[in-house]
């Protein structure tokens, strides 16, 4: 009789875990589906001068449309000093963009898509004031130039302090550290 009760209790616990897992999984999918339409795959071309030669170097990155008329936020190290920028929207449409502003100190760049449309899917920027270690985070972007990926993690530290080192000198020295997989090309996402 005790074994049947124990097995019954185990079945209830496993069922609860499966339900909790489904709730968490559904929350992740819901969050991804809300944000993914505004995700932009960014392909800037940068001019590099090495050994007396000028070369054009293609770069990959990510960004998000933040207004229905086509403003995109990304990282400065993705879009800054670009000769040209092409963006691929969620519907696979390729659009030219111009760099309208960059801030190397905060590593933020802003692009303007040249579609002329005013009905683009956009996300609302949030705030990091209330972030806590352990909260779930998603990283959406284009790792290694492969568009439309999502990875899951947690906020490891909401206010990581990094000392000024070499070229990384900034008056903004606290960063959000996460364990979500971030690869080259995710920048800006």
Active site residues: 77, 107, 187
- CA distances (Å), 30 to each of 16, 88, 96, 138, 177, in order? 21, 22, 30, 11, 23
Structure tokens at 20: 């909790």
Contacts of 171 (CB under 8 A, 6+ apart): 105
Residue of 173, 136, 147, 176 lying closest to 23 (CA atoms): 136
Residue with tokens 């000028």: 54
Q: How far apart are CA 3 and CA 25, in angstroms?
A: 32
Bridging pattern class, strands 174-178 and 149-161: antiparallel
Contacts of 85 (CB under 8 A, 6+ apart): 42, 43, 44, 45, 79, 96, 97, 98, 99, 111
């Amino acid at each position: 009789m005790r074994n049947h009760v124990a097995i019954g209790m185990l079945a209830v616990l496993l069922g609860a875990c499966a339900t909790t897992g489904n709730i968490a999984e559904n929350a992740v999918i819901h969050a991804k589906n809300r944000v993914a339409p505004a995700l932009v795959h960014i392909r800037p071309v940068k001019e590099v001068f090495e050994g007396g030669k000028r070369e054009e170097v293609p770069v990959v990155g990510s960004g998000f449309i933040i207004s229905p008329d086509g403003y995109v936020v990304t990282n400065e190290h993705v879009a800054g000093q670009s000769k040209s920028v092409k963006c691929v929207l969620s519907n696979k449409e390729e659009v030219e963009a111009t760099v309208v502003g960059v801030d190397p100190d905060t590593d933020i760049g802003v692009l303007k898509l040249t579609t002329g449309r005013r009905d683009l899917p956009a996300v609302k920027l949030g705030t990091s004031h209330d972030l806590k270690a352990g909260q779930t985070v998603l990283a959406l972007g284009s790792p290694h130039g492969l568009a439309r990926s999502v990875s899951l993690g947690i906020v490891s530290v909401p206010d990581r302090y990094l000392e000024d080192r070499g070229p990384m000198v900034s008056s903004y020295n606290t960063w959000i550290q996460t364990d979500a997989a971030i690869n080259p090309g995710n920048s800006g996402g």
